[in-house]
Amino acid sequence: MNSDAVTKTSPHRALFHALGLTNEEIERPLIGIVSSQNDIVPGHMNLDKIVDAVKLGVAMAGGTPLVFPAIAVCDGLAMGHQGMKYSLVTRELIADSTEAMTLAHAFDALVMVPNCDKNVPGLLMAAARLNVPTIFVSGGPMLAGKVDGQKVSFSSVSEAVSQFQAGKITKEKLQEFENKGCPTCGSCSGMYTANSMNCLTEVLGMGLQGNGTIPAVYSSRIQLAKRAGMQIMELLKKNILPRDIMTKDAFENALTLDMALGCSTNSMLHLPAIAHECGIELNLEIANEISDKTPNLCHLAPAGHNFVEELDEAGGIYAVMNEVNKLGLLKTDLITCSGKTVGENIAGCLNKNTEVIRPVENPYSKTGGIAVLKGNLAPDSCVVKRSAVAPEMLKHEGPAKVFDCEEDAMQAITSGGITAGDVIVIRYEGPKGGPGMREMLNPTSAIMGSGLGGSVALITDGRFSGATRGAAIGHVSPEAAVGGNIALIENGDTIQIDIMANEINFVISDAELEKRRANWKPRKPKIVTGYLSRYAALVTSGNKGAILEIQKQ
């Protein structure tokens, strides 16, 4: 694609003159800057400043920057009501609308400026699909808050609600968490989904050093944006394309760092979806192979007491990559958006704090932070953030308490209907069944805040917020809406979970399972109009990344 298509004819040029562009600007490469800035998402309120810095960098390097928007939903604000049905589904809207704007206006290259949960992977999907020179610069993470001298974050506020309801803290203390939990702009301060994906963008090679960790309020974030604006002109000159960078080896590097960092389980939805746009099938079963040989080096919130700002101070993502590569686990000859290889990028990037980034000789665990489980409960797969599970819950057996939606489960948890040892099953919340695969932060926060985190597991065909901790197992595939075995579980069935063995089952005879399957009937769709109904008709289960597939005739 080349901007000559829109700059060489008089009618086209007349429209550029209407924008106030000079002949000199029209003759330069047209660089599309995709901005996710809006006034409703805390992670995006500073993106106007990031975009201004990118524009300056592009102009300094000889390009003409032109901004267009991408939408973004705040998962925290969408949590716990019908808005959460619209979170994951925006990923496809973001990719599709970026494709439309880029091809309609023949941009020569793109700078993506995202920050939060779905618009980072949505724009990575667009970059792969369009395959024009592209670089990413995110808005950066939020600083942690402080309550009683301890650092806190968004997940601390969610758990404080349950602590208040259980009579463990006062209303005044809850209000203190509310007022201090999210003290600055930026993506929420732990290793939640947004920061996970911004860090993995750096690992994939699509963002410069610091993309995932430099705090949103630091001036160095503005400097990074200027460098990204200048660097896109180098990528254009050298014709380095997203699919040159995002190779199968690059995705395996990303999975390796995912395990070392203890990223959100949502990365197990997004990485396969991005790879799919690159023409690569990323089978999640390789995640366990990678996990088996990758030590977990970081325990960032919600798994631990460190935050992304401390990861940045400790040397950032490149320091983690350099530490991991002491074991020879990374492909280092891959080209990146810096114009250098992975090996050249991470050379000399030292670990400056061995409490934040454990050395490979002293990891939190010898295996990675995420595990993919299989068994008769999830024949295709399901996912758990192993690094955020209490040791006593890595192996658990208990009776099923089954609910057909999140709201019913919340009612049971908050009214005392769940007891130690139970396994909560929330189904018909998958990509099709939800529709939209809602996050379950409220139920998991309620479990933790009620003091049941060391004795109760939660299983769902929906998904979890990156802020979730505990034995929370999501993305059960096939999902209930398509007749997956999770739809056949009944109250009282014994659920067996062995996270270290990557197994999940419920105790049932083959004859009884077939009897229940014969009696099962599909549910009527919950939503039959609008975008969600179209999404539900095309979306696949979580094990495929909840991508959209055209139905075969």
State the catalytic residues.
465
265: CB partners within 8 A, 6+ apart: 370, 383, 384, 385, 463, 464, 466, 468, 474, 475
On whether 293 is known to bind a ligand per the annotation, the reply is no
Going from the C-alpha of 159 to that of each of 14, 152, 168, 263, 299, the distances in angstroms are 57, 11, 11, 20, 18
Other CB atoms within 10 A of residue 279 CB? 11
On whether 117 is known to bind a ligand per the annotation, the reply is yes
Nearest to residue 474, comparing CAs of 436, 430, 433?
Answer: 430
Radius of gyration of the chain (CA): 23
| Dihedral angle of Cα 388, 413, 158, 313, to the nearest 10 degrees | 0
Other CB atoms within 10 A of residue 229 CB? 28
Nearest to residue 206, comparing CAs of 30, 338, 347?
Answer: 338
Residue 350 C-beta-side C-alpha neighbours within 13 Å: 2
**Does residue 2 contact residue 108 with C-beta atoms inside 8 Å?**
yes
Q: Quick check: helix, strand or coil at residue 450?
A: coil
The residue to which tokens 């023409």 are assigned: 279
**Which residue type sits at 405?**
C
| Dihedral angle of Cα 191, 194, 198, 199, to the nearest 10 degrees | 10
515: CB partners within 8 A, 6+ apart: none
**Residue 35 phi, psi (nearest 5):** -105, 130
Nearest-angstrom CA–CA distance, 254 and 226:
25
Nearest-angstrom CA–CA distance, 92 and 97:
8
Kindly state the DSSP code that residue 457 receives in the 8-state scheme. E
Going from the C-alpha of 543 to that of each of 59, 226, 536, the distances in angstroms are 43, 38, 16
Nearest-angstrom CA–CA distance, 345 and 162:
44
On whether 439 is known to bind a ligand per the annotation, the reply is yes
Supply 476's token pair: 């059960």
On whether 374 is known to bind a ligand per the annotation, the reply is no
Q: Quick check: helix, strand or coil at residue 244?
A: helix
Nearest to residue 423, comparing CAs of 462, 442, 385, 395?
Answer: 395
Kindly state the DSSP code that residue 380 receives in the 8-state scheme. S
* Residue burial 347-378, b: 16+ Cβ < 10 Å; e: rest: eebebeeeebbbebeebbbebbbbbbbbbbbb
Nearest-angstrom CA–CA distance, 113 and 110:
10
Question: Which secondary structure element, helix H or strand E, spans residue 402, and what is its range?
Answer: strand 395-403
Residue numbering of the annotated binding site for Mg(2+): 75, 117-118, 439
Residue numbering of the annotated binding site: 75, 117-118, 439
